[in-house]
Amino acid sequence: MALDTVATAAANPTTEQPWRELGLKEDEYARIKEILGRRPTSSELAMYSVMWSEHCSYKSSKVHLKQFGEKAPKSDALLVGIGENAGVVDIGQGYAVTFKIESHNHPSFVEPYQGAATGVGGIVRDILTMGARPIAIMDPLRFGPADAVDTRRVLPGIIAGVGGYGNCLGLPNIGGEIVFDETYAGNPLVNALCVGVMRHEDIKLATAHGTGNLVVLFGAKTGGDGIGGVSVLASETFASGKAAKRPSVQVGDPFAEKVLIECSLEIFAEDLVIGIQDLGGAGLSCATSELASAGSGGMAIQLEKVPLRDPSLSPEEILMSESQERMCAIIEPSKLSRFMKICKKWDVTATVIGEVTDGEHLHITFNGELIVDVPPRTVAHDGPVYNRPIAKPAYLDSLKPVTLPAISNPKEIKAALLQLISSPNIADKSWVTDQYDRYVQGNSVLSQPEDSGMVRIDEQTHLGVAISTDANARWSYLDPYNGAKLALLESCRNIATTGAKPLAVTNCLNFGSPEDPGVMWQFSETVRGLADICLEMGLPVTGGNVSFYNQTGAVAILPTPVIGVLGVIQDVRTRTKMGLPAAGLEIFQLGNTDDNFSGSEYAHLHGQIGDHAPTPDIDAEIRLVNLLLEAQQFFQSAHDISDGGLAAALTETVLKNSVGATIELIEQYIPGGLTAGLFAETPGRVLIAVDPVNIEEVRALSNKYNVPMHRIGKSGGSALVINGESIELTELRRAHTETFAKLFN
């Protein structure tokens, strides 16, 4: 097949091109021709198709995401914000931390192990390109019903992929979530978060400037895996009942990534790069166009110099390939020799493939023939922007209040509690987390199932960071505006409960098709809610990800905004754990309980979702966070009350160290009676245990911050006793821990 050059394209304007097969719309193809003043070459078409995809261009979400900038709170901690590979915040002592969360949903359905593994690899490289050493990962996951055949297919592979790749990299997995719901059947959500650390002066950006500076591709060779992944696989729904377009999923090699990490960090330490970009979604198309666009604009690439695993690849395939473990750097010629020596030391392939020019176009040649001549910004940043139709979904008018059988007899407590804690969403996840290395590197302070993951940053001062990810998709389904707020507030509570101060936010917004006005209403309300709450809480959004087209046929997933919050703790040795450490402690509930069961796990177990999400009390939540931070020195344990309500929190608290508790719930504090007291998921509550000698100090602080503080019991014994009904810890543990083994072994 003859090479489609720029000259050929100009001379043959009517040549048929597969723009529709590449995921472009007719008006988008027309816009490309307008930009270029001719039809695109096949290589240019390939580049525009991947870079103008929903995944890369945010074309359906841009008009809404701008609120994060318009409503951004003033933050002295923010060093690098939205627009780079990852956000960066100052945590003190000269340290900067970068963190970000992204999705790899559709690839993980097609090929669970590699889809999840390369999702981890991609987010780790995003962190690396900022100049940081990756230090920990997290994995918020969503699946269809736990007993569904396809869940049994995808879940073990996804868990193995997350663990296999992360373990080989030597990165501890310190947290995440696993949630089951029928709407995720056929469309699991695999979100991956990474956090990295650097000194302030070591921050790197994705930019190409300086005429004559070299473009160097280093890392793994380019193969045929993942071609067109972002343009088709991540930008189209999975059809129900018919074959779907499924390009090959990227194939990861964690050992190649490990040496690439160490090689890159040594290169950074010697200040050998001007700009750097990883090759993830859209591969070389993304790296070259974004680097050029963020710099002077001119770049010349010789595509035949790209090292290939498969020599049969066409230029278009080379440009679209999403082969993993690759980076692109801009280097001064005088520093090339040292750069190459470091790459050779680590056995990392490195090749000069081009240079920065004084022009304004990205030129790509193949064996001397010009095949790409584009203004790079039109590829990387000036793609289509859609203001999609928005309509409030009809389902909201048919929602019904939750009606549940009341627990009036303490004897009924045991059966209801055991049913709840053995349900897949609440059951112990050790079957999963035991497949992850949570302690490698020796700096993990807290990990699942604690409220937040925590890692030590400095081994002398014990400075550390805590990270939590949260989402209640049922609340977002009932009220996406408040659902987003509630997710962020839960993350903040999880951070503060361990003793860290919330500092910054990242997000992964998972939704159905943006071509559905109801989905776009959910999305727009979610972004509005998240932007508003971040402004109210004074927390900057540092970056994130939007994942659309998460649906099978006409069934969209529940709107699932996964919100990650990072906090800082001055001394990780003072952190608070969730488990009761000893007998004789007084147990209190901070915050009041109401009788709204909408969106709760208890309602879900009874086949209901309810009609209204809680309305967050922002001022009360801020006061609670401040109380948790100031009173932390007096806590023997602390645990956020959220999924599964007080029943789940008590179970996790007593089982952690096998220390029982005697609980007496007084209806005076619980409008919904014993049922609500145990199973309602009222936000803004924390379970704490306090040594009797410190009760007055804690009570004084609760009064200072006007946070209700109710004594509900005392620690000790070998059972969890609630209003006289006793459940031995051995029976409680069996019910809580056997579910996953029975489902997936």
Supply the pLDDT for residue 281: 82
Instruction: Taking residues 446-466, report their average pLDDT.
Output: 97
> Beta strand pairing status for 214-219 and 326-331?
antiparallel
Count of other CB atoms within 10 angstroms of residue 613:
23
Q: Which CATH architecture has domain 403-502+564-744?
A: Alpha-Beta Complex (3.90)
pLDDT digits (tens, 9 = 90+) for 41-56: 999 999 999 999 998 8
CATH superfamily of 207-377: PurM-like C-terminal domain (3.90.650.10)
pLDDT in tens, 670-686: 666 789 999 999 999 99
Tokens 């318009």 map to which residue?
70
Phi/psi class of residue 641: alpha, beta or left (left: φ > 0; alpha: ψ in -120 to 50)? beta
pLDDT at 252: 86
Residues 590/709, Cβ–Cβ less than 8 Å: yes
Q: Any idea which residues carry the catalytic annotation?
A: 55, 104
Nearest Cα to Cα of residue 322 among 416, 415, 227: 227
pLDDT, tens only, 251-301:
889 999 999 999 999 999 999 999 999 998 889 999 999 999 888 879 999
CB count in 10 Å sphere of residue 449 = 16
With CA atoms as reference, report the closest residue to 680 among 428, 481, 420, 452.
420
Q: Model's pTM, two decimal places?
A: 0.95
Question: pLDDT value at position 229?
Answer: 53
* pLDDT digit string, tens, across residues 297-349: 799 999 999 999 999 999 999 999 999 999 999 999 999 999 999 999 999 99
Q: Domain ranges in the chain?
A: 207-377, 403-502+564-744
Q: pLDDT tens for residues 560-572?
A: 999 999 999 999 9
pLDDT band, residue 246 (cuts 50/70/90): very low
Tell me: pLDDT of 241 over 90.
no
Instruction: Band the pLDDT of 90: cuts 50, 70, 90.
Output: very high
Provide, rounded to the nearest whole percent, the portion of the chain with pLDDT above 90.
89
Mean pLDDT computed over 609-615: 97
Q: Is the pLDDT of residue 84 over 90?
A: no
243 falls in which pLDDT band (50, 70, 90)?
A: very low
Residue 672 has phi, psi (to 5 degrees) of -90, 10
Cα dist from 413 to 366, 407, 706, 718, 728, whole Å: 72, 7, 31, 18, 13
Separation CA 642–CA 667 (nearest Å): 20
Burial of 628 (0-12, 13-18, 19+ CB in 10 A): buried
**Cross-strand bridge partners of residue 728:** 719
Write down the pLDDT at residue 230. 52
The amino acid present at 218, given as its one-letter code, is: F
Q: Per-residue pLDDT tens for 186-237?
A: 999 999 999 999 999 999 887 888 899 999 999 999 998 777 655 444 445 4
Side chain identity at residue 701, one-letter code: L
- Mean pLDDT of the region 127-146: 96
pLDDT tens for residues 169-187?
Answer: 999 999 999 999 999 999 9
The pLDDT value recorded for residue 237 is 47
Q: Do domains 207-377 and 403-502+564-744 have the same CATH topology?
A: yes
Token match 């967050």: residue? 616
What does the angle CA 168 – CA 152 – CA 655 come to, to the nearest 5 degrees?
Answer: 75
Q: How far apart are CA 42 and CA 31, in angstroms?
A: 15
Question: Measured between alpha carbons, how far is residue 457 from residues 133, 145, 227, 297 in Å?
Answer: 11, 38, 38, 38
Identify the pLDDT of residue 670: 66
Task: Using pLDDT thresholds of 50, 70 and 90, give the confidence band for residue 133.
Answer: very high
Q: Are 59 and 385 in contact (CB under 8 A)?
A: yes
User: pLDDT at residue 355 above 90?
Assistant: yes
pLDDT value for 231: 47
- 508-567 tens-digit pLDDT: 999 999 999 999 999 999 999 999 999 999 999 999 999 999 998 889 999 999 999 999
Average pLDDT score over residue span 462-471: 98
Among candidate residues 66, 630, 166, the one with its CA nearest the CA of residue 435: 166
Query: Residue 667 pLDDT more than 80?
Result: no
Average pLDDT over residues 52-65: 93
- Nearest one of 735, 728, 722, 729 to 410, comparing CA atoms: 722
pLDDT of amino acid 85: 86
